[in-house]
């Protein structure tokens, strides 16, 4: 047991803001979809949309939830959810001095939690406490959030609204469908980068693809381009990385640079390990 845990009665407690939408926002979006079906079937009037649509739209301004977390020798208690140390994939303190932001990635699905602390000293204590013995950084740096099925609710609202307009004979449904297409494209385009010892995993709502480090001949960190054997290129624009509320904050550029720096290091290590001809 570390001296830090012994002096803190084996636990480090923190009160933080976790970036995620409140449950009632998702419920409101789901109710918009339900009401849209009823309006399209002409079972309820169009005005029945109003309270749920307003709630789901206004609710998207609430992008964080106050949460109590604790770190101990066994792992992380994230608002009552126990995460063993063995399931923690990555922990990172953002370099931004104006915000005390840390991220934790965990589990087989590499879920991302974005935590805002009262100050940077607390955030550093949190990250240090979750680092493996010896203080080395996690072996699988992570950038970005993989959209979950529940993240589709906000965009699917517009399909329900379009169906309601079409059901009542209004051509405005086509305009609403265009709004849905924009939101859906943002979700489909979202990528999460995970650097394993020998490969880069690129995760999305559509699945997981992997690029072996042995296939990478050069990494352009500034432009986010991987140059591949055979002359191919893999572009990873910062705009493809999203946070847990599907935003694209400037801090994701620092997360991308961090991940690509690890890809470059893993590429060098992999090529050194290859047998010489």
**Residue 46 near residue 164, CB atoms below 8 Å:** yes
Listed by start position, the domains of the chain span 3-20+63-138, 23-61+148-188, 190-273
- Average pLDDT, stretch 83-97? 93
Q: Which of 46-60, 91-105, 225-239, 253-267 comes out lowest in average pLDDT?
A: 46-60
Backbone angles phi, psi at 207, to 5 degrees: 140, -165
* pTM of full prediction above 0.85: yes
Q: Other C-beta atoms within 10 Å of 65: how many?
A: 14
Report pLDDT for 94: 95
Q: Which of 9-18, 86-95, 244-253 comes out lowest in average pLDDT?
A: 9-18
Give the Cα separation of 154 and 100 in Å (integer): 28
Mean pLDDT across the chain, nearest whole number? 89
pLDDT band of residue 259 (cuts 50, 70, 90) is: very high
What percentage of the chain exceeds 70 in pLDDT?
A: 91
H or E element, residue 148: none
pLDDT band of residue 135 (cuts 50, 70, 90) is: very low
Give the Cα separation of 7 and 187 in Å (integer): 45
Q: Is the pLDDT of residue 134 over 60?
A: no
Q: Which CATH number fits domain 3-20+63-138: 2.30.29.30, 1.10.1740.110, 2.60.40.2480, 3.40.50.450?
A: 2.30.29.30
pLDDT band of residue 276 (cuts 50, 70, 90) is: low
pLDDT band of residue 274 (cuts 50, 70, 90) is: low
5 burial (CB, 10 Å; 0-12 / 13-18 / 19+) is middle
What percentage of the chain exceeds 90 in pLDDT?
A: 73
H or E element, residue 205: none
Report pLDDT for 188: 94
Report pLDDT for 1: 42
What stretches of 21-63 adopt beta strand conformation (E)?
none
| 3-state per-residue secondary structure call for 70-138 | EEECCEEEECCEEEEHHHEEEEEECCCCCCCEEEEEECCCCEEEEEECCCHHHHHHHHHHHCCCCCCCC
Q: Other C-beta atoms within 10 Å of 104: how many?
A: 24
Q: Which of 143-152, 160-169, 185-194 comes out lowest in average pLDDT?
A: 160-169
Report pLDDT for 61: 86
Report pLDDT for 277: 45
**Residue 171 near residue 270, CB atoms below 8 Å:** no
Q: Which of 60-69, 127-136, 138-147, 151-160 comes out lowest in average pLDDT?
A: 127-136
Report pLDDT for 5: 53
């Amino acid at each position: 047991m570390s001296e830090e845990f012994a002096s803190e009665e084996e636990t480090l407690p923190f009160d933080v803001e976790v970036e995620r939408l409140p449950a009632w926002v998702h419920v409101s979006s789901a109710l918009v979809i339900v009401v849209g079906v009823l309006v399209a079937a002409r079972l309820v009037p169009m005005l029945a949309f109003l309270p749920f649509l307003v709630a789901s739209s206004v609710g998207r301004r609430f992008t964080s939830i106050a949460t109590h977390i604790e770190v101990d020798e066994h792992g992380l208690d994230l608002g009552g959810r126990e995460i063993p140390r063995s399931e923690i994939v990555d922990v990172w303190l953002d370099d931004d001095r104006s915000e005390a932001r840390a991220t934790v990635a965990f589990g087989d699905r590499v879920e991302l939690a974005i935590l805002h602390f009262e100050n940077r000293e607390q955030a550093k204590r949190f990250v240090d406490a979750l680092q493996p013995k010896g203080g080395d950084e996690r072996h699988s740096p992570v950038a970005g959030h993989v959209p979950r099925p529940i993240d589709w609710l906000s965009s699917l609202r517009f399909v329900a609204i379009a169906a309601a307009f079409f059901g009542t004979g209004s051509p405005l449904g086509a305009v609403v469908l265009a709004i849905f297409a924009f939101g859906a494209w943002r979700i489909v385009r979202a990528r999460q980068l995970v650097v394993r010892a020998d490969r880069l995993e690129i995760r999305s709502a559509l699945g997981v693809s992997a690029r072996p480090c042995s296939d990478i001949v050069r990494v352009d960190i500034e432009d986010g381009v991987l140059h591949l054997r055979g002359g191919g290129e893999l572009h990873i624009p910062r705009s493809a990385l999203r946070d847990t509320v599907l935003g694209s904050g400037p801090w994701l550029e620092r997360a991308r640079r961090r991940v690509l720096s690890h890809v470059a290091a893993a590429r060098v290590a992999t090529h050194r390990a290859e047998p010489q001809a």
